[in-house]
C-alpha cells in the first residue's frame, strides 16, 4: 500500500508492523515558519527497540542467502515503490526541511538510482569476492589443499538518518541501500527533523519486503530520543555495524559505544569536513568573475548544508588574488539566505560565524542579505592569512551552512605547508592551468593523505553515484577513511571474507561450487575466471 501524507500514522515500523511508542511525542516542523506538522511521532523505548533488532537477527539467515536474481529484484522493488508515492513524498520533505522542490526531486532520483545501481552490482556478484585456489596434490615439497574464499554479510546493521539529506542519506538512502545489497537486515533510526518523510519511505521499503516474500525483520524504522535510543542501538549485541552521517560529537559517541562493547563493531561515521579549495595563479588569469560566482554558488547552494561545501579557499596574494576576492564580495552581495533545515542548525550557524568573525586576524570579505523566511541567515565569506589560520584551531572548525574562509598565501611552499596541517577531508579541489602543474605535483602527495576525493576544476558539491566515487576521507571527515558512503564500493563495509578448505562440493555455498550455479566472475589461482567457466 502506497503511504501518502494523509495516511501518516506517527508510529515506528517494527518488522513490518506499525507500532506506537511508549515515550514522548515529537513533531516535524516547517523551518520556514516554525509551524509544527502533524502527526506527532511517539518515541519507542529500549524494549521495543530490542524487538526490532531481534527480528533483524531472525531475518538474517534467510536474507543473507538470497540468490542474486531475487535479491536484485527486491532492491528494484524498493525503488519502484518510492517512485509510486509520487509528488506527496517531495511535498512532505519540502515542508519538513525547507529544501526546494528541484533539490528534493533530484534527491529522490538519486535515492532510487542508487538502489537500482546496487541491484546491478548484486546481479553481477563481483562484491562476493570469490577466490579459488584448487588443490595441488602433486605439489612438492608439500601438497596444497583446496581453498575457496567468498565474502559474507556481517549481520544486522544500524543506520542513522542524516538531517541534510532526507532521502539520499536517509531511510532508503546510501547506507541502507549498501547494507541491504550486502545482505544485511537494517534497523533504521529516523531523524526526528523529518519524521513524515521517513515514514513514507519506510512504508515503501517495508511493503517491498512483504511483496518479495522476505522475513519482515529485514527492515525496521524506529523513532526514538537521539542519544538514548541511538546509543542503545549501537550497543545492541545483535547489531554488527553502524552507518551514520551527522555531527562529530554524535559520531564519536557512537564510535565509543561500539568500541566499548564486549565484541566491538565497526562504525562508519561521516562527521566533519571543510573541503579546501586551492586556487593557483594560472586559474586567476581567466574569467575571475565567473570563478568567483561559481565559488559563491557552491558555498550557498542548499543553504550551504552539504557535507562537501567548500569551507576554505586558498587564494594567492597579489593583484590576481585581490581581483578574485573583490569579485567574491560582489557575488555575495547578490545572494540571500535560504531557509536552513532546523532552527537549531540556523542558530548554530550564526554562533559559528560570529565566533569566527571575532577571531584576531579575521576580516569580513563579503556578505549577502538575510532571507525572507525564518532561519535564513545571510551567507558570509571571511578572510585571513596562512599564519593566522595555522595559529588558531577555531579557524579549522566546520561551520555547517553558507559560510567559507578565504586564506591568502604568499608562495607555493607556504601553500603546501598549510595543506599538510589540515585535518582529514572529504574533498580537496584544485583550480589551475598547465603552468601550475609543477607546483601541484608537490601538493598532490599531501592531498592524497588528507582527502578522499581530489578534483581538478569544478566544485566539490556534486557527488556522482557510481563505481569509482569515494565519499569518505581520513578522520575526522569519517571514522574510517578506508571506505566510502557513496558508490558501489560502499557494499564492502558490510561484508567479511570466509575461507572454506577441502569442503565437499555439495556443502560449499553456491558462489564457490565447481559448477558456478550463480554464474559469477571468480578468481582461479589469481587469474580472473569469467562467468560460465568452471573450477
Name the residue among 302, 242, 297, 378 with its Cα closest to residue 97.
Answer: 302
Catalytic annotation, pick one of 199, 270, 329, 414? 270
Is residue 448 within 8 A of residue 422, CB to CB? The reply is no
Between CA 375 and CA 3 the distance in angstroms is 30
Q: Is 184 a catalytic residue?
A: no
| Contacting residues for 387 by C-beta, under 8 A, at least 6 apart | none
Residues linked to residue 430 through DSSP beta bridges, in sequence order: 278, 456
In sequence order, what DSSP letters do the residues of 147-203 get, joined into one string? EEEEEEE-S-EEEE--SS-TTTTSTTSHHHHHHHHHT--EEEE--TTSHHHHHHHHH
Between CA 233 and CA 159 the distance in angstroms is 9
Is residue 460 within 8 A of residue 411, CB to CB? The reply is no
Q: Which residue has the cell 532521502?
A: 167
Between CA 463 and CA 460 the distance in angstroms is 7
Q: Which residue has the cell 556443502?
A: 507
Alpha-carbon separation of residue 127 from 120, 132, 168, 522, 525 (angstroms): 11, 15, 22, 10, 18
Q: Is 270 a catalytic residue?
A: yes
Question: What residue ranges in 377-510 does DSSP mark as E strands?
Answer: 380-385, 403-409, 425-431, 451-456, 495-501
Catalytic annotation, pick one of 199, 307, 398, 529? 307
The catalytic residue positions are: 270, 307
Amino acid at each position: 500500500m502506497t503511504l501518502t501524507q494523509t495516511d501518516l500514522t506517527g508510529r515506528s515500523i517494527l518488522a513490518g508492523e506499525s507500532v506506537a511508542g511508549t515515550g514522548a511525542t515529537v513533531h516535524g516542523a516547517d523551518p520556514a515558519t516554525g509551524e509544527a506538522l502533524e502527526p506527532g511521532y511517539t518515541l519507542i523505548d529500549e524494549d521495543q527497540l530490542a524487538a526490532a533488532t531481534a527480528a533483524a537477527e531472525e531475518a538474517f539467515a534467510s536474507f543473507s542467502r538470497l540468490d542474486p536474481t531475487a535479491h536484485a529484484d527486491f532492491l528494484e522493488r524498493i525503488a519502484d515503490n518510492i517512485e509510486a508515492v509520487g509528488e506527496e513524498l517531495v511535498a512532505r520533505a519540502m515542508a519538513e526541511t525547507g529544501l526546494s522542490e528541484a533539490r528534493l526531486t533530484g534527491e529522490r532520483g538519486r535515492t532510487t538510482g542508487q538502489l537500482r545501481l546496487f541491484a546491478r552490482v548484486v546481479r553481477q556478484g563481483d562484491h562476493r569476492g570469490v577466490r579459488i585456489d584448487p588443490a595441488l596434490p602433486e605439489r612438492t615439497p608439500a601438497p596444497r589443499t583446496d581453498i575457496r574464499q567468498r565474502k559474507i554479510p556481517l549481520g544486522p546493521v544500524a543506520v542513522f538518518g542524516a538531517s541534510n539529506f532526507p532521502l539520499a542519506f536517509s531511510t532508503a538512502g546510501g547506507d541502507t541501500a549498501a547494507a541491504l545489497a550486502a545482505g544485511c537486515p537494517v534497523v533504521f533510526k529516523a531523524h526526528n527533523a523529518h519524521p513524515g518523510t521517513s515514514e513514507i519511505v519506510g512504508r515503501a521499503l517495508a511493503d517491498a519486503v512483504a511483496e518479495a516474500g522476505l522475513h519482515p525483520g529485514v527492515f525496521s524504522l524506529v523513532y526514538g530520543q537521539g542519544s538514548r535510543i541511538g546509543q542503545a542501538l549501537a550497543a545492541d549485541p545483535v547489531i554488527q555495524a553502524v552507518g551514520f552521517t551527522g555531527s562529530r560529537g554524535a559520531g564519536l559517541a557512537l564510535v565509543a559505544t561500539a568500541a566499548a562493547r564486549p565484541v566491538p563493531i565497526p562504525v562508519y561515521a561521516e562527521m566533519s569536513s571543510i573541503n579546501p579549495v586551492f586556487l593557483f595563479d594560472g586559474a586567476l588569469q581567466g574569467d575571475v568573475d565567473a570563478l568567483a560566482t561559481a565559488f559563491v554558488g557552491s558555498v550557498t547552494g542548499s543553504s550551504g548544508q552539504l557535507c562537501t561545501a567548500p569551507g576554505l579557499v586558498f587564494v594567492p596574494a597579489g593583484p590576481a588574488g585581490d581581483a578574485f576576492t573583490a569579485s567574491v564580495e560582489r557575488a555575495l552581495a547578490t545572494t540571500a539566505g535560504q531557509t536552513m533545515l532546523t532552527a537549531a542548525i540556523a542558530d548554530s550557524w550564526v554562533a559559528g560565524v560570529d565566533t569566527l568573525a571575532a577571531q584576531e586576524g579575521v576580516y569580513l570579505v563579503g556578505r549577502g542579505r538575510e532571507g525572507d523566511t525564518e532561519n535564513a541567515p545571510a551567507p558570509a565569506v571571511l578572510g585571513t592569512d596562512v599564519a593566522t589560520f595555522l595559529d588558531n584551531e577555531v579557524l579549522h572548525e566546520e561551520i555547517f551552512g553558507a559560510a567559507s574562509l578565504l586564506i591568502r598565501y604568499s608562495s607555493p611552499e607556504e601553500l603546501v605547508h598549510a595543506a599538510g596541517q589540515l585535518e582529514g577531508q572529504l574533498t580537496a579541489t584544485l583550480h589551475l592551468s598547465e603552468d601550475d602543474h609543477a607546483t601541484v605535483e608537490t601538493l598532490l602527495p599531501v592531498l592524497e593523505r588528507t582527502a578522499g576525493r581530489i578534483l581538478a576544476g569544478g566544485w566539490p558539491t556534486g557527488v556522482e553515484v557510481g563505481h569509482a566515487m569515494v565519499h569518505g576521507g581520513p578522520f575526522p571527515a569519517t571514522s574510517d577513511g578506508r571506505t566510502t558512503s557513496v558508490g558501489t564500493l560502499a557494499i564492502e563495509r558490510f561484508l567479511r571474507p570466509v575461507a572454506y578448505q577441502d569442503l565437499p562440493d555439495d556443502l560449499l555455498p553456491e558462489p564457490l561450487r565447481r559448477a558456478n550455479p550463480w554464474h559469477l566472475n571468480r578468481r582461479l589461482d589469481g587469474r580472473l575466471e569469467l562467468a560460465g567457466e568452471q573450477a
